[in-house]
Structure 1
Amino acid sequence: MSRLECIAVEAGGDCEGQEVVLMEPRPFRPFKSSEEYLVAMKEDLAEWLHRLYHPQLNIDFDNFMDVLEDGVALCKHANNVRRTAMAYKEKLEQRDSQRRRKFSTHLDIPDRDSFFARDNVHNFIQWCRLLGIYECLLFETDDLVLRKNEKSFILCLLEVARRGANFGMPAPVLVQFEKEIDREIAKEGNLENGNDYDEEEDMMELIEYGPQAQIVTNDLRSLDEMVRDLVENCSCPTQFPMIRVSEGKYRIGDTKMLIFVRVLRNHVMVRVGGGWDTLSHYLEKHDPCRCRAGRKKF
């Protein structure tokens, strides 16, 4: 192998001196492009939970829903988030008595036998409400137990991971990407407004966020090469514009809207609002020739 594409978990990171995790390619699974972002999220969450709780929790993409459907692992994770939140609160109070955050004392959920799967899942949903997760991001018990809406469950669990990351818990790679992008936007905003950028404060945020193992994909193409491969599928007389600004940052379409792109395993992901989509599906919604092709299918 001549080289590996290194994706820094934290902004400005490099490969030297950090733990490196080689992520094996997933076997081919046929799915619609509109479903690919859920596949990517599910892979990421499965990897995250595996690293958090292995060997007690043997979870991967294929058994993801089966392992979590009884709610036991979810309740254990909720308890773990609460313990981490309380430790984080104590740390803040010790460092600065003026910076205090309130945490509910009712977040603890009792673990139960798998016979009580519905009770476990219901308790987890109630705990998510106490955590402050918006109703639009919550799921219903049958969404997990009866697989009525896997999308709702996956999006809710990703939001739980975001909240845990704010307390210093290890986070899925997508959440790490979000933190990296948010720091980049904040830094550029400060510089454009003529404000000083506080490197020390930024480093403190990195420390509080917690050190994470670096993720290495085994696709030897660069991010820009993967983006170009997708853009070149355009069949318009004038190719749909997607201009590289810097690594992972592009201006797209006639409006030159700025987007952030990252690679997760073999998925090229785009930050969309507060969430993610795949670049392939994103282009289907914005590239005129792909939009027309999509309409002809119906």
Structure 2
Amino acid sequence: MPTFIQMYIVTSLSEIESGLSQTDQKSVINCLLEVARLGYKFGLEPPNIIKMETEIEEEEEEIPVSKPVEIVRPLSNKGPNLDAEIQRIAFNCKCHQYIKKLGDGKYAIFGKVVHIRFLQNRHIMVRVGGGWDTLENYLEHHIPKQVFEHRRDIHGEPRNDVNKYLYFKSQYRSTSAS
């Protein structure tokens, strides 16, 4: 056994040397504490931190392990109501007639089924593709705001349905930097 301790001290001293050159201070401190713990097992006086560790371990052994108390938290209504917040935002953008609740967190917006959730009880997020977008931003970019009919007038010909086109003004914005 003494050969093991001597070998350990030699390896520890090499780690201490690297610590003195300030390459890895945390590992040096851990190494010194480990050497102190081993020394304590063989009867050497331990540092105060090792004494405190052993006292804490002894106190933990004395305390009987009791069954953990299950904490039941009632559902609180302190947080904002998702449906009320969605209706408030829909009234602000004047598109409340296009939003219908289908189920818990499922809504039909402009005929498309989307999932809506609260983020930290502050932000209402809509599932879009593989990501999330705020409800305000989603409504802003998906409202069919401006729809107009454009007729192509050809002089001398009567107007017919062939010359009629329906254009939608898009509201999409690119966020990519060029």
Which category describes the TM-score, using the shorter chain as reference length? 0.3 to 0.5
TM-score calculated relative to the size of structure 1? 0.22
Q: Which has the higher contact order (CA 8 A, sep 6+)?
A: 1
| Greater fraction strand | 2
TM-score calculated relative to the size of structure 2? 0.36
